[in-house]
Amino acid sequence: MDNTRAMTETFTIAQLSDPHLSSLDSVRARDLLSKRVLGYLSWRFNRRAKYLPEILAELVRDLQLQQPDHTVVTGDLTQIGLPHEFQEAKHWLDALGAPSEVTVIPGNHDAYVVTNWDDTLALWASYIQSDIAGESGEREACFPSVRIRGSVALIGLSTARPSAPFLAIGSIGHSQLQALERILGETGERSLFRVILLHHPPIPGTVPWRMRLTDHAAFRSVIGRCGAELVLHGHGHRSSIRAMVIQGRTVPTIGVPAASATSHDPDRRAQYHLYRLIRQASTWNVQLSVRGYSHAERRFVELGSPVEI
């Protein structure tokens, strides 16, 4: 028997982000007595023409044909975080895949203002729920979430925080960062491939200042001490393939465009990523394939050839 072949393990993760899938057609005036009125006006006169349900439906159809082992959604499923939007998103998640096969984290649009947990994120609990003892997806303090799939650890953070009008900033916070350091240590000792999911990009300059992650330096310090194999984010609504280089560690840090976006700019048009993790003995390699929406063909097609990251 070929021992090298026998020890080869593969796992494919699909990443999509920022689907902004919910409708505000039935919104009530009393729902808009806050920052939400600005978000509603943006949707009414701009965003609803840019983020199209038919593109998102085609993405889901194409993704399911690819049969990834797991799918991650890195935030902003809603428009302005109303309870009915979370219900719409829950129905969409149920169609996307079983909770054991799909992991979700929230984005800033999912935390537009302070809301009741039971009416909002609790509806997605089965897609957040950790499967490591001591971590829970059932309460407000459910992040970091930890989901182990074979030799892969999916570690979800919440950067979703209400912010002032015209700002879309996020933060991780001290408690999550403390827990993240512990989780990275424990999963690293088990030689798991550690994938960190967060909505806001942790590398300065990836998005404008008003959209920044405020505690990116503290996050990067944790990564410098503990390491990680891959960081996936959303928020920027454009393709971004970068790397954090910290204390001798290089960690690929990758974002995708909005999953429902129509745009003349190819970097902003709807895409999703497929990460093929390949383990041979103690060595991991990552192969990235990009599938994007073709206006001409009205379907998703492979963009370029797979690349090693």
In a domain, 2, yes or no: no
Written as tens digits, the pLDDT of the chain (309 aa) is: 455 455 789 999 999 999 999 999 888 998 898 899 999 999 999 999 999 999 999 999 999 999 999 999 999 999 999 999 999 999 999 999 999 999 999 999 999 999 899 999 999 999 999 987 555 545 556 899 999 999 999 999 999 999 999 999 999 999 999 999 999 999 999 999 999 999 999 999 999 999 999 999 999 999 999 999 999 999 999 999 999 999 889 999 999 999 999 998 999 999 999 999 999 988 999 999 999 999 999 999 999 999 999
Distances (CA, A) of 204 to 99, 207, 295: 33, 7, 32
Strands 152-156 and 145-149: antiparallel
Residue in 74, 75, 78, 108 with CA at minimum distance from that of residue 232: 74
In a domain, 33, yes or no: no
The token duo for 26 is 């039935």
Instruction: Dump strand ranges (E) for the chain.
Output: 8-16, 70-74, 102-105, 145-149, 152-156, 193-197, 230-233, 240-246, 249-255, 271-280, 283-294, 299-302, 307-308
User: Residue type at 268?
Assistant: R
In a domain, 46, yes or no: yes
In a domain, 32, yes or no: no
* Cα–Cα distance, 136 to 142 (Å, whole number): 5
The CATH number assigned to the domain holding 226 equals: 3.60.21.10
In a domain, 237, yes or no: yes
Q: Which residue has the tokens 């998640």?
A: 93
In a domain, 3, yes or no: no
In a domain, 9, yes or no: no
Q: Does residue 258 contact residue 270 with C-beta atoms inside 8 Å?
A: yes
* Cα–Cα distance, 261 to 238 (Å, whole number): 10
In a domain, 8, yes or no: no
| Domains identified in the chain, total number | 1
Query: pTM of the prediction?
Result: 0.95
Q: Does residue 125 contact residue 143 with C-beta atoms inside 8 Å?
A: no
Per the structure, the complete domain to which residue 132 belongs is given by 15-25+41-308
